[in-house]
Structure 1
Amino acid sequence: MLQLQFQGDKHEAYVRITLNQHYRAVKEKRTGIARPSRDGAVTFTEGFNFKLALAHVDVSSLAFHVFQATAGYGRDKLIGKSVLGSYMFARGKALVQWNTAIANPMEQSQQWHVLSE
């Protein structure tokens, strides 16, 4: 569950997840559009898998960009982002979750992260 700061009257969001290696996008996936519940919370319940060679772990990261969906052909508005990755890309809880996920490749790893702008 996520409390997002929307602008305007359209409160729909999605997350774009990008696997990066050496700061270059390798693979990109996206959630469906989520709408807020009665209490205003937006919930994303999708899971994604990325294949990552052990040799690329130290130069890889996952970037999560949360966008507010807009109507028409306008650009969707970036609400915030978070990056998980090796020591080159992340610190604190993001680095801990990355290391936990790499150490346990067949297990789900879930944790809340603060979005930055």
Structure 2
Amino acid sequence: MPQAALLSRPKSRLIKHSTLPSKHSAAEIYWRDRPYQQLGTASEIAQISEGALYAAEKNGLLTFVRLAGRTLVETASLVAFLDRAEPWTPSERGAAGRAKRAEIARSALR
């Protein structure tokens, strides 16, 4: 992919890759164009902990590979994992307790 096409994508989806030798400048690579992600990078992309990534792999939701002694996340499995995210809805957990406290507070004001 041409360098101009990589740089024209939204900056929020670019991740700096600065592990190149010092005589080279840092390259910006769109994360979805990489075949694998380091755990720290995958954690940052998904906004969950590395421990949660390991749990997702254990449950079959992510695919890990070993390469040169490093544990990496397959980008395709990370994208599929993110696509399975459910919309947030408020929980009813604690509603009964809040109602009871509100009732007690109202009766105390009378």
Instruction: Report the TM-score, using the length of structure 1 for normalisation.
Output: 0.25
More strand by share: 1
Task: Indicate the structure whose relative CO is greater, using CA pairs within 8 Å and at least 6 residues apart.
Answer: 1
Give TM-score scaled by structure 2 length: 0.26
The answer to which structure has the higher helix fraction is 2
Task: State which structure, 1 or 2, has the greater radius of gyration over its C-alpha atoms.
Answer: 2
